[in-house]
Every structure is written in structure tokens, then in C-alpha cells.
Structure 1
């Protein structure tokens, strides 16, 4: 059987590479995208990385009670997605307590309930955009604070440039808890050809057409960029912005789904070394 992967084809830059960060010199240790001989192996991989993303959110202090949900599409059954269980702290998510649900919010595998708000938002995005494989949301300090401004990030740094023309602000039903299905449809409409959204008076959302690792890293990065912009604005001094041309160049080279996946590999290796109970 041919190998299958959870990643979508990437635009090649040269010599079969998808990033200038891939080494030209052969024989060096460098993260490689996985391949799989069967769907079961791919599913196990996807579930483990979903757990890793939850643990990474715990490390970042992204917990807020039962709020926050991460999802990844099942590699064999695209109408199903895996997500963290309701009311379980990010630090306690493990392979054995993940749940699998359909786009109607019915749990088809697992013992825990599903987060209603997570189902409304994520299921709508997964259903409307078949190319999106993963999505992340949490109630974070800086992202939620910045979301109250109803503004996009400015390209004040190279890191922020990764989101230049690649994120949107969603004003629909701002501040109203998303428990009605129609709210999910409005959020889903915004995720056309972007990797991130700032939901006014609510918080941050990221989506990936590549992997859960990419969606998780870009969420972490977006939170940091919100923090940085709030810090800069607190000085009262107008920052010097990266020019549009340079911002687009930086986004092209450090803002792709692949780069998000690559960044997450350092986080993953640390989690494997320090939190082996992830795999229970």
C-alpha cells in the first residue's frame, strides 16, 4: 500500500525542497516529514501529536478552566475529528482520553463529553473547509486582550510578519459565547486562505492545512505577537513597521504551514523526553 500522510503538497522552492531551512548538505540530522504505510499508523501519529499540542498549551499557560479546544481531522475518515476531552486540563490529556466526534458533535469514540463551544466552532470549520486538517483555540491572556481591540496585528517584527495578510479579524457576534451552530458558520466563513483569526472580544484561533503541529505552533506564535504588540503600544511610541514587501518576503519564508510544523519539532522532542505519560 502506498504511504499516506496528513500533510498537503507544499510549493517547492528548488531542488525538491519546500523551505530554505532544509539543509543542502546531505547527511545532517534534520526533521523529516513522516510517511505511513497504513491509516492505523497515521492515526496513532496524529493522536500523539494532538496530545503533544495540548501539553504544549499547558506549558504555555493557556489553560482557563474547561475552555480551549484543539482538533485534528481523522486521516482515514475525514468526516471525523479527534479532540481533547471536556473539562480535562491540557496537562492531563493523553492518548487514552482523547475523543473522536463527527461534524454533528456526536462522540463516536472515547468516554468523555465534547466541549459544546469547541464543536460549534471547529466542526463548522472542518466541514466547510475540507483542506483544513487541524484547528486550535484557547482563552489566553494576551490574545484575548488584543482581541478586544478589534484590530489586525501590525508587522512590527519579523515574527509578526509571519501573519501579514494571513490573518483576519472576525467581528460577528463578538463576545457572545459560541454555543449556537450559526456562530460556527460565521467563523468558518472567515477561514478562507488564512491560517489565523482574531475573534473580537473572544480570542485567537488558528487552522492548518498541514498538521496539528503547525496549527499549535502558530497559535503559540500568535499569542506572543499579541503580547509584543501590546507591550510596544504601552510605550506610547509608534513602532517602525516592516514594509509590505519585506513583510511578505518574511511570511513566505517563515510563515508557512511547513515552518510551523518544523518549529513544533523542538517542542515535541522536549515533551517526549519529559512527559512520557502522554502515550498512556
Structure 2
């Protein structure tokens, strides 16, 4: 990505102007902001600008995942529904490291699996296409979806169990927001299995544990889906730690249902979850684009 392709100021302020949070009926984002509100999801009046923005964030999400160690050979994929042609979606090429992906690397595919735009010099992931196309077809509200073979996600998936409400953060997956796909038939080349997977996610699911496989998350932006993936991965790690302690006789204390529902309702809307990803995105920019620009200006050692 060229250093000028995405400006940090854009990430922080490219939305409606910051607004005072003094309204009586506050949104979740207003409620969590003291004083002025964080800017939410940008609104575009031009498909090309929106597409450019989405692909930039998609590439940065992959780079964040690489930094967090979510890579496993050629496995893993993110999809983003095209804003102009919603029956198509962008995905990453097969066999390119997450940390090297740029917006120009992404491939546009239709629901038949045909590459129709973007970088068609490399193949897309066939199994990834089956999973993502089934979910995008079944859930028109899903703009982006993430799946990788992350360590804790793979470990917890062997139990084919939901994450328990052990702390405030995991309440993002309270109730229908969390699903478990309890079948495993190997690499998903079968369209019927992909459809079963989409059915298991349900109409309200945001995160799903795939038995003996890993994690899958969705959102109205790639930022939301990526944040939920990171959160679900960390929640699996916490769950495994708690299970080890509980095996030694320490009693678990759960978040009460009423409190879990309230916390979920107040923190899990798409605007707030979009904002939750921005700190990691800002850091990724600083580590990649920012350092490269400073080196070019001679302000840091090469």
C-alpha cells in the first residue's frame, strides 16, 4: 500500500462530524463516549471511494492478523461484499502471506465462484469461497466475514461447545450472537456442507465455533468482523485457562444472564464494534506506513 493511500486522520475522523453526546436517547457509541462521540462508520456517496476504503481496511485487517499470529500456511480468508454489486465479494488470493497483502491483491468473485475482477493472476481459496459465499447468500446483512486457523480457536473448537459468559468482553457473543457448527467433514469443498454451516450461524450470529476447525466471525464492516475474530480468539484462550483452573477445583463464577444481556446490548452494535478495531488498525499503520515514511524522510535508522 502506498504511504498516501490511507491517512490516519481519515480513520479517526472520516464520518459525520463529531457530535456532542448530550442527547437523552443515546446510541451505544454515544453512551460509551464522554463528551464528544467517536466517529462511527464512514458514509460514502460514491461506490468507488467506498470500495477503495473497504479494500484498504481489508488489507490492514490481514496485516493485523499476521502480527497477531493467526497465519497457518495457505489457510484463512476474509471476504468483503462489494458495495455496488452485492451478489459479489472480495477475497484474498491463495498462498500469499497475510502481512504482505495489499488492496490490489484482492480478488472479486461472484456467487458461482468465477473471478470477475481485481487480481485474477492468483487463485482464490476454493474452500474459503464455499464457506463465504454460503454465508453471504444466507445473510444479506453480512458485509464481511473472517476465518483463520488461530491457535486458541482450534484448541477450544475440539470441545464443540459455546464460550461461557466468564467476563465482560465475551458478552459480545451472548445469546444468538454465538453459534457452534458441530459437524466436521474435512476441508469444505462441498456446497451442501457450506450451506449447513451458514444455517448453523443463524440470522443473528456474529461468531461461530467450527468443530475441529476454528473460528468464523461476521460483521457489517470488515473492522467489526476482524475485531470480533480477535475477541473470540482471545476468549477461547481465556476459556481454556479457566477450564484448567476449574479442573483443579476452583469454582467458576459466571456473569448473570441479565447483566450479560445488558452488556451485550450496550456494547455490541456495529458502530461500536467498528470503533473497537480502530486502535489495532492505527497501530498497524504506525508500524508499517508510518515507519516507512519516516525512513524515507531520514528520521529513523534503516
- Structure 1 residues 90-105: aligned runs within 5 Å: 90-105=98-113
Query: What is the RMSD of the two structures over their aligned residues, measured on CA atoms?
Result: 1.8
- Structure with higher Rg: it is 2
> Structure 2, unaligned stretches of length 5 or more?
1-14, 16-22, 291-302
Q: Pick from 236, 242, 260 the counterpart of residue 226 of structure 1.
A: 236
Counterpart in the other structure of 1:255: 268
**How far apart in 2 are the matches of 1:56 and 1:81?**
21
2:75 aligns with 67
1:197-252 deviations in whole A, cap 9, x for unaligned? Answer: 111111110011x2010000000000000000100111122310111111111111
- Output aligned runs, 1:136-155, within 5 Å: 136-155=146-165
Q: Is the counterpart of residue 40 in structure 1 residue 37 in structure 2? A: no
Q: Distance in 1 between matches of 2:289 and 2:104?
A: 13
Superposed displacement of residue 14, structure 1: 5.0
Paired with 1:270 and 1:22, the residues of 2 have a C-alpha distance of 22
Distance 1:80 1:94 in 2: 19
Distance 2:54 2:64 in 1: 15
Determine which of 34, 53, 59 is the counterpart of 1:51. 59
What stretches of structure 1 of length at least 5 have no aligned partner?
Answer: 6-12
| Matched positions, count | 262
- SS of the residue aligned with 2:29? coil
Q: Secondary structure at the match of 2:90?
A: strand
From 111, 115, 137, the equivalent of 1:107 is 115
Deviation at 1:20, TM superposition (A): 4.1
- Mapping of 1:9-28 within 5 angstroms? 15=25, 17-21=27-31, 23=33, 25-26=35-36
* 1:273 positional shift: 2.0
Match of 1:127 among 122, 137, 142: 137
Q: Contact 1:148–1:200 (CA<8 Å) still a contact in 2? A: yes
Deviations 1:156-199 (A, max 9, x none): 11111221112011113x25221111111011112221101111
Which residue matches 1:200?
211
Which residue among 245, 250, 258 is the counterpart of 1:245? 258
Q: Classify the secondary structure of the residue corresponding to 2:95.
A: coil
Offset, 1:153: 0.6
User: Aligned partners of 2:199 and 2:24: how far apart in 1?
Assistant: 34
With normalisation by structure 2, the TM-score equals: 0.82
Output the TM-score relative to the length of structure 1: 0.88
| In structure 2, distance between residues paired with 1:54 and 1:42 | 19
Greater helix share, structure number: 2
Q: Which residue of 1 aligns with 2:5?
A: none
Q: 1:272 aligns with which of 271, 282, 285?
A: 285
Moved over 4 A (4+): 13-16
Shift of 1:17: 3.0
> Which residue of the partner structure matches residue 31 of structure 1?
39
Which residue of the partner structure matches residue 181 of structure 1?
191
Distance 1:199 1:118, change over 3 A: same
